[in-house]
Every structure is written in structure tokens, then in C-alpha cells.
Structure 1
Amino acid sequence: MNNNKAKWIKISFVISIILLLIKFYSYYLTNATSILTDALESIVNVVAASFASYSIYLSSQPKDDNHPYGHGKIEFFSAGIEGALIMVAGFFIIYQAVYNFFIPHELNMLLEGMALIGFTGLVNGILGLKLKSEGRKLNSLTLEASGKHLLTDTITSFVLILGVAIIYFTDLIVLDSILSILFSSYIIYSGYLLVRKSVAGLMDETNPEALKETVEILNKERKDCWIDIHNMRVQQYGGDRHIDLHLTLPYYYELQQVHDEVEIVEEALENRFDGAIEVFVHADPCIPEKCCHYCQLKTCQVRKFSQKSKILWKASNMTKNQKHYHDLADNL
């Protein structure tokens, strides 16, 4: 899996360098600040691809004494660096655009420049879709972030062509600076979103999508003897995932039975996700006076109260640090 990640990052790096040269050549031909905007963002693509290559290499390293959860979080850091670089490039472009607004300069060979930018946009779009797809498939934030960045670059490139075409037909050179400022604002916003996602991952913010997937799997595999699951936490470490939860089982189960049920839960989760999955299950005994009311185990020989309800397993109650009899009143 990590070989596939490295392969696509290397491809992205090589293509980014080629497209960078083409964009700067386009700027050399046209002298348009708006095209310089696109070229400068491509520098970010090259730097980001370099850092992403290292982050994927590091994230593939096995766990060690200093990193018991592995090195996967470096991918969040990589995405944050890429987002920060995008924002810096955006602010620099705004500065250059404002300068050219007051001191305009002549533009040349706009048709040739548009053709070159159109070619780079098409290549970035194809590569961006592929990286985004591979990132989701391999559960890699680094690949997905690079793919989104390239798709953003594609959009700005084609909008840029439209803007340069307007300049070409109207001869309003001042539009070059206005266009650059608009592009830069969009670039800064897309960079902010990457930084925001990076910080969320580094701070172990709840990943709603990962949590939703885990809840869906447990509901699908749910057994009658799994009386409830609570205090569940799902954490993402780059392409790896860590899940821990408390599983309530009948209090009279012997140790071997408890062990078997715990293994079933672990295997159900480990076999349904891509990437490395680490599952820790803590087994709790049921409390007859409180759990019987929603226990689904029809073969229970020590039931003290009849079943009144079935607790629906949702992210909202499975993540609470309490057994589900606290929620029983809401289901009656």
C-alpha cells in the first residue's frame, strides 16, 4: 500500500516540475501577473510533493518505543505544510497584483499563454482526480490533499484563461491585477481548509466519517449477546486507524466466551477497513437490574426483567462513557 502512495507522489512531483516550467515560460511570453499567480502556485505544488514524499516514507515506518501508535500523523503535518505554503503564495500574489495595479505593464502573446495554461490545467485535472481517488482508496490524507490542491489549481487555471481572454479582447490591462487578487483570495481559502484539516487531525478531533463507518459496521455485525457498546473512540493516524470501545456482555460468561466475543468485534472492524487497524475492546459485565430492560439475548437463563426496548446504536450514544440504560428512557 505504501509503495502505491510513494509511486503516485513521485509521479506528482515529476509532473509538477514540468508544469512549473511551462507556466513560467507562459509568464515569460505574456508578462501577465495573473499567469504569474498560477506559476507561483506551482512552486507550492513542487515543494508540497517533495514534503509529501518524505511524509509517506516516514508514515510507512513501523511502530517503535518512541512512537507506539506509529508515524502516521506525519501525513497531517504534511497537509498542514502544504496548506500554509498555499496561503503564503496567495498573499505574495496579492502584493504583486496591487503593485501592478498602480504601475501597469504591457502584456504580450496572450493567445499563446492561454494555450499553455490550458494544457497545464488539463494535466493537473487528470492527475488531481487520480490522486484524490487513490488517497481515498489508500486512506492517505497526503494523497487526497495533493489531489484536491491540483483540482483547485485546475479550476483557477481555466478561470484564468477566461480572464486573460477578456483582457485580450477588451485590452483592459487593469483586469490582470483584479483577476490576480480574486485568484489569490481563492487560493488562500483553499490553503486555510487544508491547514484546518491538518490541525484537526493532529489534535485528535473526532473524524465524523470514520466514526460513522465504525458505527455502521458494528450495527451490521451486532449480536444479541452484545448488550451495548459505549465509550467508543475512533482516531485517525494518517492512513492508520485506532478504535477502542467498551463491550457489555452477560455477566455469567466465562473468560473464554468473553475472549471469543471480543475477537469477533475486533475482526469485524479490522477486516472492513483499508490500512492498518488497531482495535482495543474492554469487556464489561451486564447489570441485570438495569440492562435486562434492553438486552436482546432471548436465551438468557438469568433474566430478571422483561425486555422493554432495543437501544439504537448511534455515534451520539456509543461515544458516551456510560452504559446504555441511561438512554432507555429516551427509547420508551
Structure 2
Amino acid sequence: MSNNKAKWIKISFILSIVLLFVKFYSFYLTNATSILTDALESIVNVVAASFASYSIYLSSLPKDDNHPYGHGKIEFFSAGIEGALIMVAGFFIIYQAIYNFFVPNELEMLLEGMALIGFAGLVNGVLGLKLKSEGKRLNSLTLEASGKHLMTDTITSFVLIIGVAIIYFTGLNVLDSILSILFSCYIIYSGYFLVRKSVAGLMDETNPEALKQTVEILNKERKDAWIDIHNMRVQQYGGDRHIDLHLTLPYYFELQQVHDEVEIVENALENQFDGAIEVFVHADPCIPEKCCHYCQLKSCQVRKFDQKSKIRWTANNMTKNQKHYHDLADDND
């Protein structure tokens, strides 16, 4: 998996260097500040791709004594750096656009410049879609962030072409600075979104999508003997996923039976996800006076109360640090 990540990041890095020269050559031909904004963002692409390559190398390293959960979190840091660089580029572009508003440039060869920017935007768009797709498949925030960045670059490039075309046909060179400022605001917003997502990962904020997938799998594989699952935690470390949960089983199960049921839960989760995954299951005994009311085990020989309901497992109740008989008590209040 790490080899696939490294391959796509290397492709992104090489193309970002080529397109950087294409865009700066376009600026050299046209002298348009709006095209300069696109070229400056390409510098960010090169820096981000190089840092992403190193972060993927680190994230692929095995666990060690100092990093018992692996090195996957470096991908969050990488995405945050990329977002911060995008924002810095956006603010610099605004400064340059305001300066050129008062000291305008003489624009030249706009048609040739538009053609070069269009070519660069098309390449970035195709690569961005692929990186975003591979990032989701491999659970790599670095690839996904790079893909979104390149797709943002594609959008700005083609909107830029429209703006430069308007300047070409109207002769209103002042639109160059206005267009640059509008692009910069969009770039800054895109960078902020990446930084926000990076901080969320570094702070172990709940990943709703990862949690939803885990709940769906457990509901699909649910066994009658799995009386309850609670105190579930799903954490994403780059491409690695860690799942902790408490599984309530019949109190009379022997140790081998408990081990077998725990192994079924672990296998059900590990076989459904791409990427590295660790599952830690803590087994709890049932409490007959309380768990019988929602226990699904029809063959139970020690049942003290009839089953009254079936607990629907959701992301909300499975993450609570309590067994589900509390929910039944709340419903009866």
C-alpha cells in the first residue's frame, strides 16, 4: 500500500515541477498578475509534493518503541503544512494584486498565455481526480489533500482563462488585479479547510466517515451472542485505523468461546477495510437482571427475563461508555 502512495506522490512531484515552468513561462509571455497567482500556487504544489513524499515515507515505517501506534499521523501534519502554504500564497497574491492595481502592468500575448494555463489546468485536473480517488481507497489524507489541492488549482486555472479572455476582448486591464484578489480568497479558503482537517486528525477528533463504516460492518456481521457493543473508539492515524470496543457476551461462556467470538469481531473489521487496521476488543460478561431484556440469544438456558426489544446499534449509542440497558431505562422514564 505504501508503495502505491509513494508512486502517486512521485508522479505528482515530477508533474508539479514541469507545470511550474509552464505557468511561469505563461506569466513571462503575458505579464499578467492573475497568471502570476496561478504560477505562485504551483510553487506551493512543488513544496507540498516534496513534503508529502517524505511524510508518506515516514508513515510507512513500522511501529517502534517510541511510536507504538506507528507513524501515520505525519500525514495529518503534511496536510496541515500544505494548507498553510496555500494560505501564505493566497495572501501574497492579494498583496501583489493590490500593488498592480495602482501600478498596472502592460499585458501581452494573452492568447498564448491562456493556452498554456489551459494545458496545465487539464493535467492538474486529471492527476487531482486520481490522487483524490487513491487517497480515499488507501485511507491517505496526504494523497487526498494533494488531489483536492490540484483540483482547486484546476478550477482556478479555467476560471482564470475566462477572466483573461474578458480582459483580452474588453481591454480592461484593471480586471487583472480584481480577478487575482478573487482567486486569492478562494485559495485561502481552500488552505484553511486543509489546515482544519489536519488539526482535527492531530487532536484525534472523531472521524464520522470511519465511525459510520465501522458501525455498518458490525451491524452487518452481528451475531446473537454479541449482546452488546459499547465504549467504541475509532481513530485514524494517516492510512492506519485503530478500533477499540467493549463486547458483552453471555457470562457463562468459557474462555475459548470468548476468544472465538472476539476473533470473529476482529476478523469482520480487519477484512472489510483497506490499509492497516488494529482492533482491540475487551470482553464483558452480561448482567442477567439487566441484559436479558434485549439479549438476542434464543438458545440461552439461563435467561431470567423475556426479551422485550432489540437494541439498534448506532454511532451514538455504541460510543457511549455504558451498556445499553441504560438506554432501555431512559426509554422507560
**TM-score with structure 2 setting the length:** 0.99
Distance 1:130 1:265 in 2: 33
Does the aligned pair in 2 maintain the 1:86–1:187 contact within 8 Å?
Answer: yes
* Match of residue 36 from structure 1: 36
Does the aligned pair in 2 maintain the 1:227–1:248 contact within 8 Å?
Answer: yes
- After TM superposition, give the deviation of residue 102 of structure 1 in Å: 1.1
Q: Report percent identity of matched pairs.
A: 90
Change (3 A) 1:331 1:18: farther
Distance 2:54 2:201 in 1: 18
Three-state SS of the structure 1 residue aligned to 2:185 is: helix
Does the aligned pair in 2 maintain the 1:311–1:331 contact within 8 Å?
Answer: no
- After TM superposition, give the deviation of residue 331 of structure 1 in Å: 8.5
Distance 2:279 2:271 in 1: 11
Distance 2:231 2:217 in 1: 16
Deviation digits for residues 261-312 of structure 1 (CA, Å, limit 9, x no counterpart): 0000001000100111000000000000100000000000000000000000
Distance 1:80 1:117 in 2: 27
Distance 1:303 1:168 in 2: 82
Aligned-residue CA RMSD (Å): 0.9
- After TM superposition, give the deviation of residue 14 of structure 1 in Å: 0.4
Distance 2:135 2:318 in 1: 28
Distance 2:81 2:264 in 1: 40
Distance 1:64 1:128 in 2: 33
Deviation digits for residues 10-46 of structure 1 (CA, Å, limit 9, x no counterpart): 0000000000000000000000000000000000000
Distance 2:6 2:142 in 1: 10
* Match of residue 147 from structure 1: 147
Three-state SS of the structure 1 residue aligned to 2:236 is: strand
Change (3 A) 1:306 1:58: same
Q: How many residues align?
A: 332
**Ranges in structure 1 where 5+ consecutive residues have no aligned partner:** none
Three-state SS of the structure 1 residue aligned to 2:128 is: helix
Distance 1:108 1:130 in 2: 35
Deviation digits for residues 170-217 of structure 1 (CA, Å, limit 9, x no counterpart): 100110000000000000000000000000000000000000000000
- Kindly report structure 1 stretches of 4+ aligned residues shifted beyond 2 Å: 329-332
Distance 2:298 2:134 in 1: 45
Does the aligned pair in 2 maintain the 1:309–1:331 contact within 8 Å?
Answer: no
Does the aligned pair in 2 maintain the 1:93–1:184 contact within 8 Å?
Answer: yes
Three-state SS of the structure 2 residue aligned to 1:282 is: strand
Three-state SS of the structure 2 residue aligned to 1:187 is: helix
Change (3 A) 1:331 1:138: farther
- After TM superposition, give the deviation of residue 103 of structure 1 in Å: 1.2
**Ranges in structure 2 where 5+ consecutive residues have no aligned partner:** none
Three-state SS of the structure 2 residue aligned to 1:302 is: coil
* Match of residue 192 from structure 2: 192
**TM-score with structure 1 setting the length:** 0.99
Distance 1:136 1:277 in 2: 15
* Match of residue 182 from structure 1: 182
